[in-house]
Chains A and B, each alone.
Chain A
């Protein structure tokens, strides 16, 4: 057991830190939350800066245009960018963390050349067309249909909770290509151009008041068969590849951010006098234990994936279960520190408190994650 970083890793960290300090000083002001074109331009601009500095797709394989960094280097990258206050991956999330890695591992040579470089260079934005109104947690129940017509699939149906749909160039779309097959078979993975005729995007307003995601309606949208990644009706397996990436290191930066927020909370409590309340102080102390442990668990999972060749395991579900609840507890504690001001949505902590409500739902609800832990790690029988 070793928590020390090698001289090479420390060198990597030092160079990254140096670059971040210079690069962040040149960033334009952040756009408003509902200014989607502005957000797109901001996120792509940051991605381009990363690309020019050689940090784009750090953990992607070299033959996919990445740097082939080790999981530990990726951990350092996520830790340092968060500490420096660098922009979040934002609109590039699906391209960099979902669609890109899926195409890198399952796509043909031509597909890799077509789609990967524009993601790394910050030229194209992807969104995710997985969930449907009747197929959220039970994803395999999806009903959006695709049938062959010459060299095209014709697709009709609807998707929901689609982040970045308003400004995406591409959508990683799961469709049912065989309606008669058992529900986990008969699904295919398509890259859908978002400017194709027949696509309607309707933004949804979240409880925090912003438009973070959208409904996407598909009315006989034609998608070339050549845009299918993986074999026809093999989309479920391809999707599992995608999701194994999602649960790998998606939350590393956020743990670092939560530890920072907790420190800020303690200092605010000292300034406004609430620190004198021993119950509140102890509550913040306990949250400190939680986030320290979550950081250690991250280091444990990263070390493990480095030993096993980089594919994250189901341990991500263990992490996500605890993290999502602890994050909500953090903002509940923030409300106690703020007092009446916690009801002011002009306070950043109030908005963060509202958005933290999604964490136990998004990316697999806590109940689904508990089923995964119970069945796949503990080996309990499947049931209803």
Chain B
């Protein structure tokens, strides 16, 4: 067992981060947020295609990169980190079935539950979007349409649902990690009462909990990428959604009044995290999958735990010393 990133995986992650930093840095993010309504940057889309973002999991024989789900998860984590806009997951999942999707020539959107992201900009829409009506999207970087028909959605294909949920979890993970960094940067530099606010325990503990949620979600998301097991994906999705949404809220709190302004980037992270929570296999469905899993092994052992046998000893707690390390 070696549950760590391989050298190749580290290199891939670093490469995607470099590309995205160069092509979708903070100024581009702000321009996209401030100039609305948003249009999709086709040149960037093609660049992503050339870099193999959409063809990552296609076999090399079919012109793809020939990598697996763990690598796709690492790439989408980086996309989530910079709030890269566009129907990335739908296009990625169409790489083997829609001509031009793999190369970034064709933009593919998908009906997912009651919503479609980027419908107006898409060349191809998977699922029935008949009668779709635009919403005034809470996220300035994600145009949304509401689909009121009970038509076929991406949800009809269990594999697509599973992959959409896992890649969404990966984006949420990247987003959560980035908001933790932004909060820490701010807490280290912003001074109040004569010292950086990060010296106050109230702020310190907010940041510590952000990191804890990120690291717990990371372990779950990476494991789900390795196993592709539906229960693992459900766990990963729940924890990554929580890490992203609560991470963005806590980041806003650490930023204080500045965090409540349009100029701060924090709201963009929170709004995108909210949009992502609505995608395939959200909280309720994931919790149902995880609850069913608990009974899946039923019958193997006695189901009801008896009273403690008088005199039996099962002490677990040992007291050890807490410590302030300075």
Partners in one complex: yes
Residues of A whose CB lies within 8 Å of any CB of B are: 1-6, 9, 29-33, 35, 38-39, 42, 72, 75, 88, 90, 93-94, 98, 128, 130-131, 136-140, 161-164, 184, 210, 212-213, 239-240, 243, 246, 254, 262-268, 270-271, 281-282, 284-286, 288-290, 292-294, 296-297, 299-300, 302-304, 306-307, 315, 318, 321-322, 346-349, 351-352, 355, 358-359, 361-365, 367-384
Determine if B313 and A300 form an interchain contact, defined as CB atoms under 8 angstroms apart. Answer: no
Q: How far is the CA of A358 from the CA of B316 in the complex (A)?
A: 11
Q: List residues of chain B with CB within 8 A of the CB of A383.
A: 195, 198-201, 204
Given A284-B294, A293-B216, A307-B4, check contact A32 B319 (CB 8 Å). no
Given A33-B315, A292-B231, A296-B220, check contact A346 B308 (CB 8 Å). yes
Total A-B pairs in contact (CB under 8 Å)?
Answer: 298
Q: List residues of chain B with CB within 8 A of the CB of A3.
A: 1, 3, 223, 226-227
Q: List residues of chain A with CB within 8 A of the CB of B4.
A: 1, 300, 303-304, 307
Kindly identify which residue among A35, A268, A321 contacts B212, using a CB–CB cutoff of 8 Å: A321
Task: Identify which of B200, B227, B232, B287 gathers the most chain A CB atoms within 10 Å of its CB.
Answer: B287
Determine if B295 and A270 form an interchain contact, defined as CB atoms under 8 angstroms apart. Answer: yes
Determine if B211 and A377 form an interchain contact, defined as CB atoms under 8 angstroms apart. Answer: yes
| Interface-facing stretch out of B47-55, B87-95, B299-307 | B299-307
Residues of B whose CB lies within 8 Å of any CB of A are: 1-6, 9, 70, 180, 184, 187-188, 195-196, 198-201, 203-205, 207-209, 211-212, 215-220, 222-223, 225-227, 231-232, 234-236, 238-239, 284, 286-295, 297-298, 301, 303-308, 310-326
Kindly identify which residue among B199, B293, B305, B319 contacts A358, using a CB–CB cutoff of 8 Å: B319
Q: Interface of chain A, helix or strand or loop or mixed? A: helix
Q: List residues of chain A with CB within 8 A of the CB of B215.
A: 297, 315, 318
Q: List residues of chain A with CB within 8 A of the CB of B321.
A: 128, 130-131, 136, 139, 161, 243, 363-364
Determine if A378 and B184 form an interchain contact, defined as CB atoms under 8 angstroms apart. Answer: yes
Give min CB distance, A204 to chain B, whole Å: 10
Q: List residues of chain B with CB within 8 A of the CB of A375.
A: 204
Give min CB distance, A99 to chain B, whole Å: 12
A-B contact pairs, 30 of them (CB 8 A): A3-B3, A30-B314, A75-B1, A128-B319, A128-B320, A140-B324, A184-B326, A243-B323, A264-B304, A266-B294, A270-B295, A270-B303, A281-B288, A284-B290, A285-B286, A288-B290, A289-B235, A289-B290, A296-B222, A299-B1, A300-B218, A303-B4, A355-B315, A363-B321, A374-B208, A376-B325, A378-B180, A379-B188, A380-B196, A381-B188
Q: List residues of chain A with CB within 8 A of the CB of B203.
A: 380
Q: How far is the CA of A38 from the CA of B196 in the complex (A)?
A: 55
Q: How far is the CA of A138 from the CA of B238 in the complex (A)?
A: 36
Q: How far is the CA of A60 from the CA of B307 in the complex (A)?
A: 38
